[in-house]
Amino acid sequence: MKQSTFTVLLMLLLSSASYAEIQLNATMLSLPCTGCHGSEGKSQRAIPSLNVMSREQIYRAMKSFKNDQRHATLMNRIAKGYSDSELRLIADYFGVKP
Amino acid sequence: MKEWPRRDALKLLLASSGLALTACSGLSRVTKQRLRVVVIGAGFGGATAAKYIALNNPQIEVLLIERKKAFISGVFSNTVIAGINDIDGITHPLQRLQANHRINLICATVTAVDPEQRKVWLESGERISYDRLVVSPGIDIRWNALEGYDQAASILMPHAWQAGQQTLLLKQQLRAMPDGGVVVISSPADPFRCPPGPYERASLIAYYLKRHKPRSKILILDSKNSFAKQPLFEQGWQRLYPGMIEWISLSNGGRVVAVEAAQGRVHTEIDEFKPDVANIIPPQQAGQIAQQAGLVDSTGWCPVNQQTFESHQIPGIYVIGDSSLAGYMPKSAYAANCQAKVCAQAVVADLVGEAPLEPTFINTCYSLLAPDYAISIAAVYRLRSGEIMPVNGAGGSTPIQATLEDLASEAGYARGWYRNIVADSFG
Ligand SMILES: Cc1cc2nc3c(=O)[nH]c(=O)nc-3n(C[C@H](O)[C@H](O)[C@H](O)COP(=O)(O)OP(=O)(O)OC[C@H]3O[C@@H](n4cnc5c(N)ncnc54)[C@H](O)[C@@H]3O)c2cc1C
């Protein structure tokens, strides 16, 4: 009895969470970046390549852009558009294993 | 290759032959007819869509139909007018799409679409059938929306809003102008292709004039009371070209209503001008083929499902880029490239009977004020109740207090961006 109430509550919580933030696919989150960083994160000029960074490096860079801890011309405006868990998915998409 | 979850080749064959997945025993009877997507227009939207459909599912046959031999980009075309780039620098061959992604390139003009038969008609009279059609024809000029501004007038008073001959025409007129001359740029009401474009153009024309005809002036006659990145542009003009650029807003009588091209006259509601060079950026609408196919509504643009870009007017046809009504996204190359990837996923999903994935989008527009001075505006977008909306708290413009060093960095990044988006779209 208790458990099923808990399950219902959990489901409610989960569904309201997913309403606020829909679980997005890593590719759909990451492809918008490649217009600047190059297909698959391989940049040809000026803008840094992402495919040479580790997942952890990308994640940490995005977090510090998002929190305005790292100076940038543009990336802090972009990074603020994503939740931390989305930044993980994006970092996993572009990043190479350490 | 990092791609969408791999689609089952078998599923596609079954889908194309109309068989249910359970009909495994019938497999040997399945005809190997491939599903076909036709894409109209190999600009930033169409080329990207063709490429990403082919990448996503190599079983699909992709036909890309473009009327021009090579694509000439509106993006960076203002640098050609300023003389800091030449037309080859914004001309991009399409053959790599064929070589790298086995896309079938057809150099032809599409003259009609038959949605009942699912066929497109080429100028030659040839008909090509499709299972899904993606339409990305860019913009068309609304001729005579400004009284007197027709095709003949556009030779005398170029718009240069579709790159190519028009770009070179405006460049030549500026070269022929005497020092101390006046250049008028007329800027249209929203919505139009590349909202910061007219002001980038004013900046880069000023860059040319300052070096070669320093006594000249630029007058922007605007049909709006404000424009994209306005404080940043005005700050930059003050710093780089003091006294050279004057902006006349809608409420100050800036709206151009008519031209007399042969006489060189430009009329606003209250005034008349006779500039040495008139660059008329006229009102615009969806590319002509989109109008002809019945994809536009009363606005002149194409309403679409903003998750998939499938037309609200005709099922099986998708419209992306400048021609589409994509919520709060502006009409830009970055937006067209981004929309194309979302549309590619949706088209492939639809063909294999799957649901489309939830999209996200980014737009960024860099504007060069000089070769070493650029500003940017960016936004991240998501779908909210079926509409593409900017994410609160993200995006925005270059800060007004940005250092000259940062503005120079942005100019370098703008060139890097251009290189990368061209490779992402046409490579
Ligand atoms: C001066 C200027 C500056 C700009 N600067 C920027 C910028 O800095 N950043 C940015 O993001 N955007 C910029 N843009 C905007 C950008 O160029 C467009 O938004 C972008 O090209 C839109 O892509 P599209 O695929 O919708 O159309 P296009 O790229 O115009 O492609 C349409 C293609 O379809 C073809 N076509 C049309 N009809 C047919 C037919 N019936 N049959 C066969 N082919 C057909 C055309 O020939 C064309 O090649 C600028 C534009 C201009 C004019």
Distance, in Å, from the CA atom of A19 to the CA atom of A22, rounded to the nearest integer, reads 6
Residue A78: inside a domain: yes
- The phi, psi pair for A35, rounded to 5°, reads -60, -30
User: Are the C-beta atoms of B86 and B138 separated by less than 8 Å?
Assistant: no
pLDDT > 50? residue B421: yes
Stated pTM of the model: 0.92
Give how far Cα B58 sits from Cα of B3, B33, B35, B50, B71, Å.
Answer: 12, 14, 11, 11, 24
Q: Tokens in use for A2?
A: 């208790």
DSSP string, B341-406: HHHHHHHHHHHTT-PPPPPEEEEEEEEEEETTEEEEEEEEEEEETTEEEEPTTS-EEPPTT--HHH
pLDDT in tens, B14-65: 444 333 333 333 333 344 579 999 999 999 999 999 999 999 999 999 999 9
Residue A31: inside a domain: yes
Q: What is the mean pLDDT of chain B?
A: 93
A and B: number of Cβ contacts within 8 A: 115
Chain A residues contacting B, CB < 8 Å?
Answer: 22, 24-25, 27-29, 31-40, 43-47, 73-74, 77-82, 93
Distance, in Å, from the CA atom of B264 to the CA atom of B330, rounded to the nearest integer, reads 32
Interior CA angle at B351 toward B347 and B355, to 5°?
70
pLDDT > 80? residue B403: yes
Q: Which residue in B1, B2, B405 has the most chain A C-beta atoms within 10 A of its own C-beta, making it the best mutation to test that interface?
A: B2
Q: Which of B337, B398, B413 sits opposite A46 (nearest CB)?
A: B413
Residue A45: inside a domain: yes
Asked whether the beta carbons of residue A77 and residue B393 sit closer than 8 angstroms, the reply is: no
* Ligand 1 center to A88 CA (angstroms): 34
Choice between B31 and B172, residue whose per-residue pLDDT is larger: B172
Query: By percentage, how much of chain B surpasses pLDDT 70?
Result: 93
Q: Tokens in use for B184?
A: 């008028």
ipTM reported for the complex, 2 dp: 0.90
Residue A3: inside a domain: no
For B152, other C-beta atoms within 10 Å of its C-beta total 11
Beta bridge partners of B72: B91
Nearest CA to ligand 1 atom 24: B138
Residue A2: inside a domain: no
Residue A10: inside a domain: no
pLDDT in tens, B250-264: 999 999 999 999 999
Could you tell me the pLDDT band of residue B6, with boundaries at 50, 70 and 90?
Answer: very low
Distance, in Å, from the CA atom of B128 to the CA atom of B36, rounded to the nearest integer, reads 10
Q: Which of A44, A74, A80 sits opposite B420 (nearest CB)?
A: A44
Nearest CA to ligand 1 atom 6: B75
What is the average pLDDT across B325-350?
A: 98
Candidate of B322, B376, B377 to mutate for ligand 1, largest count of ligand atoms within 8 Å of Cβ: B322
- The phi, psi pair for B88, rounded to 5°, reads -60, -30
Choice between B223 and A5, residue whose per-residue pLDDT is larger: B223
Distance, in Å, from the CA atom of A37 to the CA atom of A27, rounded to the nearest integer, reads 15
> Residue B33's pLDDT is what?
79
pLDDT > 90? residue B389: yes
Distance, in Å, from the CA atom of B422 to the CA atom of B417, rounded to the nearest integer, reads 8
Contacts of B376 in chain A (CB under 8 A): 73-74
pLDDT > 80? residue B286: yes
Residue A22: inside a domain: yes
CATH of the domain at A58: 1.10.760.10
User: Are the C-beta atoms of B38 and B130 separated by less than 8 Å?
Assistant: yes
Report the domain count for chain A.
1
Query: What does the buried/exposed string (b/e) look like for B13-50 if buried means 16 or more CB atoms within 10 Å of the residue's CB?
Result: bbbbbeeeeeeeeeeeeeeeeebbbbbbbbbbbbbbbb
Residue A69: inside a domain: yes
Q: What is the mean pLDDT of chain A?
A: 84
Distance, in Å, from the CA atom of A46 to the CA atom of B398, rounded to the nearest integer, reads 18
What is the average pLDDT across B268-272?
A: 96
Asked whether the beta carbons of residue B420 and residue A47 sit closer than 8 angstroms, the reply is: yes
What is the average pLDDT across B57-78?
A: 97
| Residue-number span of the structural domain to which A89 is assigned | 18-94
* Ligand 1 center to B74 CA (angstroms): 6
Residue matched to tokens 């495994």: B24
> Residue A97's pLDDT is what?
77
Q: Which of B357, B358, B410 sits opposite A73 (nearest CB)?
A: B410
pLDDT > 80? residue B224: yes
Count Cα atoms within 13 angstroms, Cβ side, for B51. Answer: 26
Instruction: Give the domains, in start order, of chain B with CATH numbers.
Output: 15-141+284-357 (3.50.50.60), 153-280 (3.50.50.60)
Could you tell me the pLDDT band of residue A21, with boundaries at 50, 70 and 90?
Answer: low
